[in-house]
Amino acid sequence: MWLTKLKIAIIEKNPDGLNKLLSDIPHLESQKEIEEAVYLLREATLMMHTLKDQTQESMKQIKKNLDFLRSMDIPTSKKFDTRS
């Protein structure tokens, strides 16, 4: 059951589900289950690194967009002009 939930979390790219599953790893009985768990954990690690890299790239793009928008901003006076 745990391996099935792990597979689902990987397919759904669900970091919260992975975190929950990793905090409660059961004792695996057979060699086949252990090998499958190792393979799935490698896939989960790869997925997390990919998500991290994508998030980092998104943040860089957002920063570039904000910098561009700020550069296009027209400076205005903060003081109230009573002479007009």
Domain boundaries, the chain: 2-53
- The model's pLDDT over 11-54, given as tens digits with 9 standing for 90+, comes to 999 999 999 999 998 998 899 999 999 999 999 999 999 999 99
pLDDT band at 8 (very low <50, low <70, confident <90, very high): very high
- Kindly write down the DSSP assignment for every residue of the chain, as one continuous string: -HHHHHHHHHHTT-HHHHHHHHTTPPPP-SHHHHHHHHHHHHHHHHHHHHHHHHHHHHHHHHHHHHHHHHHTPPP--SS-----
Judge whether residue 82 has pLDDT over 80. Answer: no
| Residues 6 or more apart whose Cβ sits within 8 Å of residue 21 | 2, 5, 6, 9
Q: Is the pTM of this model over 0.75?
A: no
User: With 80 as the cut, is the pLDDT of residue 75 above it?
Assistant: no
